[in-house]
Structure 1
Amino acid sequence: MNSAPFNLNLILIFKPLTKIIMKTLIMLALTGLLFLSCSNDNSSSSDLSETPLAKAKFDNTNFGIYKGVLVGSTGVVMVNIKNNNILSATLIIDGTTYNFTTVEDVIENNDIVGLTFTSGNMSFNFNVSTNGVNPYTNAIVIPGHPNVYISLIKEKSTSIVKCYQGTYLDNGANGSTGVFNLLISGNNIYGLAASNSGNSTVPLSGTVSNKIITGIIYGGGSFSGRINKNNISGTFKNADSSETGTWSGQRTL
């Protein structure tokens, strides 16, 4: 039997084509991995709402949604004063969620004084004026966290409150570190900074314009920075500029 002649030209054509196909498949695979990696990086921020929970009818009353940050560890807080006809609170401390309830009741358009929320052996009191101004907590009992402080503000239906948890690093000789947590509502900034040594907690306040942050540290000092999507970062200095440092954080509520 006569076999077909061996065609060397076909071999010469298919060899480079095979290399091109293999390179293309490798590039597609790498592109797919990169896409998956980027998707995973953004997964934590996809759950963060850009819409206020607060209802318009409660914007100028004591009812509604209050959000906050805490130090003495680190965490975020949300208090629901009959925004949907229930009284509840949620604290997320060091990544663990605790749900609080109360057996007491409140009346719309009246001051709230000492409304006690409990969760197991944890508790705190919530207070706010009749129109929702100056909310604060006291009598905070969180076992294992003896120096807890909470900063709260009321969310409006027109302006979501965003909560950021972060840290700071002092560039001074002692190189101290601590928690640097901020609340941003519209152009206003509130927050708390606390040293990891537990001997210092200070309030923070400031403004944001075109994603640029400027603020003051109560007791002396200032901080500045910028917002980049769900991340914030910047620098700080004390009153006489002898000590400076950096801070950064990420939105978690």
Structure 2
Amino acid sequence: MKKSIYFMALIAVLCTLSCKKKSQEKEPAYTCSTCMTTPEALAANDATNKGIYKGVVIGSTGTIKFNIANTGTTITAILVLDGVTANLTSTVAWTAGQAYTSAFTGKLGTADVSITFSVDATGTTPVISTSSIPGHPNTSFNLIKETSTNLIECFEGTYSTTKPETGTFNIVLSRTLRKFKGSSRTTGSTTSNPISGTIDSNNNLVEDGNIICLLSGDELNGSFTDNDGKKVTVKGKRTF
């Protein structure tokens, strides 16, 4: 009888140790398996407005990519909003040495979408001047041109504060240029707050001298104290 009790006690101890070990094991780091690891942009387009432009969207949440004749004459855009993809097309041809402006149209589900994209002749100032996305009013965009040596990455995330307050936190960045920009938007709001800054040598995202979060692989995590003394916690993952 005593042997049975000792045996059962030993099993219980081993189970406890095994469960404790499993609970202490860290989850594997997130990796965006569908994201590019090298630039799509061609070197021949680096100094022109031809090429690839990538960005993040807030008004819900998502990403967008413009292909302005990167490998030929095809001009298209791909918008992903809340996991739904819209393939957009343009009817305006690219002309060397001139600024490019065009409406890109298509459907998001069954809804008609129109987004007007503009960029100067050198490709340095891409903007969305107007957009019509039914069900997604007051959408904001942040774009960066990709070059043959400069991979552009898009991160979608959230923030929460001790105010309390929650919202969306989306950024687009370049590890090569050590820069980022994006927007945040409070849940329920229709306006976005711009975000921009640099990536320091420790891979911290820094805005106005304040560390916002850490860039680690395909993840963003961190917290900081805002101007009102409230703690802000940021989490995000690369999605494009």
| Aligned with residue 206 of structure 2, among 196, 211, 214 | 214
When Rg is computed on C-alpha atoms for both structures, the one with the higher figure is: 1
Query: Cα offset for 1:222?
Result: 5.1
Instruction: Give the Cα separation in 2 of the matches to 1:154 and 1:125.
Output: 16
Deviations 1:67-92 (A, max 9, x none): 00010100011000000121000011
Percent of aligned positions with the same letter in both sequences? 33
Partner of 2:99: 111
Q: Residue 169 of structure 2 corresponds to which residue in structure 1?
A: 180
Aligned residues: 208
Amino acid corresponding to residue 104 of structure 1 in structure 2: V
8 Å Cα contact 1:68/1:151 also seen in 2: yes
The answer as to whether partners of 2:204 and 2:211 remain within 8 angstroms in 1 is no
Check conservation: 1:191, 1:205, Cα contact below 8 A: yes
> What TM-score comes out, normalization by structure 2 length?
0.81
CA contact (8 A) 2:59 2:190 kept: no
RMSD, aligned α-carbons: 2.1
Deviation, 1:207, is 0.9
Q: How far apart are residue 224 of structure 1 and its match?
A: 1.6
Alignment match, 1:151: 142
Report the equivalent of 1:98: 86
Q: Which residue of 2 aligns with 1:171?
A: 162
Partner Cα distance (1:223, 1:198) in 2? 25
- 1:47 shift after superposition: 2.3
Partner-residue secondary structure (3-state), 1:247: strand
TM-score, length basis structure 1: 0.77
- 1:232–1:250 CA contact under 8 A, matched in 2: yes
Deviation at 1:244, TM superposition (A): 2.8
Among candidates 124, 145, 148, match of residue 133 of structure 1: 124
Match of 1:251 in 2: 238
Q: 1:8-51 deviations in whole A, cap 9, x for unaligned? A: xxxxxxxxxxxxxxxxxxx9xxxxxx9xx96xx86x62222210
For the pair 1:201 / 2:198, whether they are aligned, the reply is: no
SS of match in other structure, 2:65: strand
SS of the equivalent of 2:121 reads coil
- Secondary structure at 1:200's aligned position in 2? coil
Contact 1:72 1:198 in 2 (8 A): no
Distance in 1 (CA, whole Å) between partners of 2:236 and 2:147 is: 24
- Which residues of structure 1 form unaligned runs of 5+? 1-26, 28-33
The structure showing larger relative contact order (alpha-carbon pairs under 8 Å, at least 6 residues apart) is: 2
Moved over 6 A (4+): none
Instruction: Indicate yes or no: 2:52 matched with 1:60.
Output: no
> In structure 2, how many angstroms separate the alpha carbons of the residues matched to 1:212 and 1:181?
16
Rounded to whole Å, the distance in 2 between the matches of 1:232 and 1:179 is 13
What residue is the counterpart of 2:182 in the other structure? 191
The question of whether the paired residues in 2 share the 8 Å contact of 1:147 and 1:198 is answered with: no
Q: Which residue of 2 aligns with 1:5?
A: none
* Partner residue in 1 for 2:22: none
